[in-house]
A and B are shown apart, each in its own frame.
Chain A
Amino acid sequence: MTEHQGLLSGGWDRVASNKRYIVWFYLLNLALAWLGTAAFKNQAHDFLDHSLLSGRLLHGFDIGVMVEMFLQPEFGQTHASSASGLHFALLFFVATALFLPGVLQGYASTYRLPREDFFRACGRNLWRFIRLMIVAGIVMGAVAGALFGIQSFLEKKAAESTNELLGFEVRVLSLVVIFLVMTALRIWFDLAETDIVLSDQRAVRRSIGTGFRHMWRNLGRLLGSYVVTTIVAAILLGAGLWIWMRFVPPASVVGAFLVSQLMLILLLIPRFWQRGVAVRYYLENMVEPVAVQPYTPAPVAVPVVNDPAPAPLLPDTPPETQGA
């Protein structure tokens, strides 16, 4: 790997050499969502399995029949099943926060990170991440609130115009600006997270400061990388939905499941790619060089047994252990 490799390709290399993380996160995502939809599944089976009318939902997408189903008291309360789905989606978010330090550690490693090191990184950084997420939540919430407030104001102003399209144009333009600003904030806190994990930084505020400085100094380069990966995600989502609608027969449940799951696993990649970019950037620009004393072997008459050295944060050679 060259030192000045591009951020995108450098980030991608890290994703490519650690594909197992995506697979594990996908399985976690699927398992949690599966549990989250159990209530809905039971409701649907109870209501539909003996009705001939349900055939109109199977062999097409009849919106009227779908709406009627949700309107029926016999179908049951949908807010219970939707709340359950939302709770499991939140659980996936928590799990991501929990396991992310291990992923960052793995991306920084030049070898397959041992399982115990993966979980050690997770455990060591848990409290730091919680603190960081609280700060990130406050900052991002405040900025998002302000930006959406401005957007609402601009839209109101646009509605005073006789140009009907102006409101839409203002909305699109403001959403683009909001997206860019929020992405910049995301970069900031991604760098802070990377710094916390890879520098073993206990003082979260220092990582936040370091993250902000680097985000600000290299905004164009970092933002470009993040925007490209987001566009990739949007293309994947669009293409996945198009293939689903265009090629999967309405009655093919297995086909729909496979295509939708393929789309969802692919959708995980861009975000991991962004993490790879952050790690690549960290290694390139943020890691502080460690002063290493030149090794001068002393003449030894009698062999001695040295104490084992502490495990380096960025080991150069892989130990012989099973990877996570």
Chain B
Amino acid sequence: MKLRWIIMFFPVLSVVVISVVVKEHAVKAASPQGALAAVAASVAGATPNVSGASVIPDTTLAINSTQPLSQRVVHYEIDAKYDSAKHTVDATEVLTYHNLTGQPLDHFPFHLYQNAFQPNATWIRETKVAGGRDVSYEKWEDKDYGSEEIKSLEVAGQGDLTSNVRYIQPDDGNKDDKTVVDVRVPKPIAPGQFVQFKIAFQTKFPETQARSGWKHDFVLGGQWFPKVGVFWHGAWNCHQYHATTEFFADFGVYDVKLTMPQFEVVGASGVKVGETNNADGTKTVAYHGDDIHDFAWTASPRYRVKEDGVFQGQMGPVQMRILMQPAHWSQVGRHEKILRESLEHFESWYGPYPYKTITLVDPESSEAGGMEYPTFITGDTSWFMPKGLYLPEIVIEHEFGHQYWYGMVATNEFEDAWMDEGINSYTEVKVLDSILGKKTSGINMLGATFGEREQQRLSYIGVADLDPIAQKAYDYYSFNSYGGITYGKTASVLLTLESIIGEDTMAKAMHTYFMKYRFTHPTKEDFLKTIEEVSGKDLKWYFAQAVYGSQVMDYKVLKVESFPVNWYVEKETGSHKDDKNTVYRSYVWLQRKGDFIMPVEVEIKFEGGEKIREHWDGVSRWTKFTYEKKAKLESAEIDPDHKIQIDRNDFNSSYTAKEHGRTALKLTNYWLVVTQWLGQALAWWAV
């Protein structure tokens, strides 16, 4: 069926391909700035006329490749005008959809994400009940309101179908939720056929929430246009917008024109292909994106821009464009450095970054910070950011990582949020450990240290027994549980997996997974199967507990004990002195307190320095090791190499025969100083 359509559109395709190839050669030889001009010219030729025959263009203007990299399902052409006073966008959208589902389609669901910001919407309800990232909605204010309204919808060849647009609530039946609409088409779209929607819509942004919206004169346009769902596993997958979910969409091509006041500094996904000043004081900026599945943009009159940084990637140069708040300009070097280092590590470990640009936005408010869109990410910093506090580095690395785990390996964030957030948190630990140090990758200042892997683990252990990893993002007990499990547990589970299959094998598995599934929508089974295949090990026992189950690991050294074998002789002689020939019988008791079963190593240390490594399969609830040696037992430690990241309590994983109270005294001294100082402060002011 697909072949028939290709033959039908062969003349058109030929013209487009030839046009693009010719211009690509010119682009390759040009500088980045020159390339943009060439891109601008080529897009005009490559973009099909909306009134003409429908096709998804196979442009490669925004990627360092002569061939499309994804199976392109959609082509969005959006002409949008932003009103910075009303925070609204009035736009027309032409969506060309290629039916590659293998079956006729008689209806199409669309996301209208901005409708989530209405008092009775599911997003708000869930945030009020289970908590959220930015706001608690103690009271409702007008500025919190957002909307996305389809003014008209026409299907090429089928006429105006605006009356066929129906709000649906596939997840919770909340009739007040308007984040998904379904459009019935009278004439089903046959497999392999293209369908073209012409939609007029208006979007009103709220004040920044969920990393989208306006703040003062800044705006971040994310999830702002009607976006079609994904036909996946034999059905449409188009979930409502939930408090704890992000997004899922098909790959394609984006051509977006943004019209706004001339004083605005604009950044967006893809490459800029044109900018014209209009007579009414506005300007129109055009962007083009290839092999991406979303499009975001930002504007503010106060951005300071650094765009001379170029990263020489494996597939070609990548222009790094950084838009900073004026008050943060002194940190632009930090931003560029971590972005470049992240690119280097990801290319070297996982695979090439194929896009020609990466835009890093330092947003006006933290509610808009820390978000990923294809080739476009937001950081998060403030005017005061000491050098040893690595918050900007963590956020930027994390969001850049999403270019791989979300941007290219486009998993379903509604149903398997751990596959983008969690896998990305794992690679975040690996990359930041490499750049900033294992124990100092979060904080390294004033003698205090904090590592990223520790941060991930801590976020998990507080919610360890609440939810499994493998469940829909919106089914978690709370926002904290979602965060702790999706991000923290996944990272910890994958770090622990290194102890089972080896760090190098795990790295190889991640590389294989990326290369095999980039520009597709893999499932959790695809990911787990890849690890098993690369490692050559059956890991179902581990995944069943760590990924599909909510078992909690807690191994404990119950106690250790040593006493002379001939204790009665010593007692008779009254001698209590140890001598070198005294033989001691020593015991070590281990307990598996949690319900997570996993083989562990134990290191037994004796006075004099002798060490013994034991292996315990952990199946029984407890076990005991016995020794007879001419030395007393000094300590026992489970997981002596500290490879296990999912043990809920690391303090009880070791036990020393002798008490050592200095740590407790040190902490007590801190407590004492605080108490004394508090008393003095009270007495200073109150009497």
A137 CA to B687 CA, complexed, in Å: 9
Contacts of B132 in A (CB 8 A): none
A33-B675, A40-B668 as given contacts; A133 in contact with B663, CB under 8 Å:
no
- Using known A-B contacts A85-B674, A168-B383, determine if residue A58 contacts B666 with beta carbons closer than 8 Å: yes
Residues of A within 8 A of B102 (CB): none
Residue in B closest to A39 when the chains form the complex, CB atoms: B671
Chain B's closest residue to A57 (CB) is: B663
B686 and A85 contact, CB distance less than 8 A? no
Check if A61 sits within 8 Å of B664, measured CB to CB.
no
Asked whether B455 is an interface residue with its Cβ less than 8 Å from the other chain, the reply is yes
Contact B660 A49 (CB under 8 A): yes
Q: Is the CB of A264 within 8 A of B677?
A: yes
Contacts of A23 in B (CB 8 A): none
CA A210 – CA B651 in complex, angstroms?
61
Find out whether the CB atom of B216 lies under 8 angstroms from the CB atom of A53. Answer: no
Tell whether, in the assembled complex, residue A93 and residue B651 are in contact, meaning their CB atoms are under 8 Å apart. no
Residues of A within 8 A of B217 (CB): 162
Which partner residue on chain B sits nearest A60 by CB separation? B449
Residues of A within 8 A of B651 (CB): 47-48, 51, 53-54, 68-69, 72, 74
State whether the Cβ of B462 lies closer than 8 Å to any Cβ in chain A: yes
Q: Name the one of A45, A57, A182, A260 contacting B685, with C-beta atoms under 8 angstroms.
A: A182
Looking across the interface, which residue of chain A has its beta carbon closest to that of B557?
Answer: A50
Which of A64, A65, A86 counts the most B-chain CB atoms under 10 A from its CB?
Answer: A64
Q: Are A245 and B653 in contact (CB under 8 A)?
A: no
Most chain A CB neighbours (cut-off 10 Å) among B384, B446, B674: B674
Determine the distance from Cα of A51 to Cα of B655 in the docked complex, in whole angstroms. 5
Would A64 and B455 count as touching, CB distance under 8 A? Answer: yes
Interface 0/1 of B628-672, CB less than 8 Å to A: 000000010100000000000111111110011111111111011
Tell which of A33, A50, A88, A140 has the most Cβ of chain B within 10 Å: A50
CB contact under 8 A between A64 and B451, given known A37-B668, A51-B654, A72-B651:
yes
Question: Are B669 and A260 in contact, CB atoms less than 8 angstroms apart?
Answer: yes
Tell me the number of A-to-B contacts counted with CB atoms below 8 Å. Answer: 190
- Cβ contact within 8 Å between A81 and B383: no
Q: Is residue A63 within 8 Å, beta carbon to beta carbon, of the partner chain?
A: yes
| B510 touches A (CB below 8 Å) | no
Q: Is B458 close to A, CB under 8 A?
A: yes
Nearest chain A CB to B661 CB, angstrom units: 5
**Which of A9-17, A215-223, A249-257, A280-288 is the contact stretch?**
A249-257
B680 beta carbon closer than 8 Å to chain A: yes
Q: CA–CA, A34 to B455, complex, Å? A: 33
Is A250 within 8 A of B447, CB to CB? Answer: yes
Q: Is residue B358 contacting chain A, with contact meaning CB distance below 8 A?
A: no
The answer to whether B655 and A50 have CB atoms under 8 Å apart is yes
A50 CB to closest chain B CB (Å) equals: 5
| CB < 8 Å neighbour of A37 from B216, B364, B461, B675 | B675
Which chain B residue has the least Cβ–Cβ distance from A186?
A: B685
Residues of A within 8 A of B678 (CB): 85-86, 89
- B669 pairs with A245, CB closer than 8 A: no
CB distance from A218 to the nearest CB of B (A): 21
Of the residues B637, B661, B673, B679, contact of A88 by C-beta under 8 Å: B679
A164 lies within 8 A of chain B by Cβ: yes
- A160 to B443 CA separation, bound complex (whole angstroms): 31
Q: Does A90 contact B (CB under 8 A)?
A: yes
Separation of A69 and B217 alpha carbons in the complex (Å): 44
A55 touching B663 by the CB < 8 A rule?
yes
A129–chain B nearest beta-carbon distance, Å? 8
Docked complex Cα distance between A160 and B282 (Å):
25
Q: Is there an interface contact between A72 and B649, defined as CB atoms closer than 8 Å?
A: yes
**Known contacts A67-B458, A85-B675, A250-B447, A96 near B669 by CB under 8 Å:** no
Q: Is B162 an interface residue (CB 8 A)?
A: no
Q: Does B454 contact A (CB under 8 A)?
A: yes
B449 A90 Cβ-Cβ under 8 A:
no
A64 near B662 (CB under 8 angstroms)? Answer: no
B327 part of interface (Cβ distance < 8 Å): yes
For A245-286 the 0/1 string (1 means CB < 8 A from B) is: 100001101001100100010011001000000000000000
Q: Is the CB of B668 within 8 A of A53?
A: no
Q: Given known contacts A44-B667, A245-B446, A245-B447, is B462 in contact with A71 (CB within 8 Å)?
A: yes
Q: Which residues of A lie under 8 Å from residue B461 when comparing CB positions?
A: 68, 71
Give A19 to B655 CA distance when docked, in angstroms.
Answer: 48
Who on chain B is nearest to A230 by CB?
B684
Chain B residues with CB under 8 A of A67: 458
User: Is B450 close to A, CB under 8 A?
Assistant: yes
Question: 0/1 per residue, B354-371, Cβ < 8 Å to A?
Answer: 000000000010000000
Is A29 engaged at the interface, CB distance under 8 Å to the other chain? Answer: yes
With A55-B663, A133-B686 already in contact, the answer to whether A162 and B302 are too (CB < 8 A) is yes
* New A-B pairs, 8, CB < 8 Å, besides A49-B664, A71-B458, A251-B662: A34-B672, A48-B663, A54-B663, A68-B458, A72-B649, A93-B683, A245-B447, A271-B680
- Which B residues have a C-beta under 8 Å from some C-beta of A? 216-217, 302, 325, 327, 364, 382-384, 439, 442-443, 446-451, 454-455, 457-458, 461-462, 635, 637, 649-656, 659-669, 671-680, 682-687
Ordered nearest first, which 4 A-B pairs have the shortest CB separation? A64-B454, A92-B679, A44-B664, A52-B654
Would you give 16 A-B contacts (Cβ < 8 Å), ordered by A? A37-B675, A48-B667, A49-B661, A52-B637, A53-B650, A63-B443, A64-B451, A64-B457, A74-B652, A81-B671, A85-B675, A93-B682, A133-B687, A164-B325, A168-B383, A257-B669
Chain A residues within CB distance 8 Å of chain B:
29-30, 32-34, 36-37, 40-41, 44-45, 47-55, 57-58, 60-65, 67-69, 71-72, 74, 81, 85-86, 88-93, 96-97, 100, 129, 133, 136-137, 140, 160-165, 168, 182, 186, 245, 250-251, 253, 256-257, 260, 264, 267-268, 271
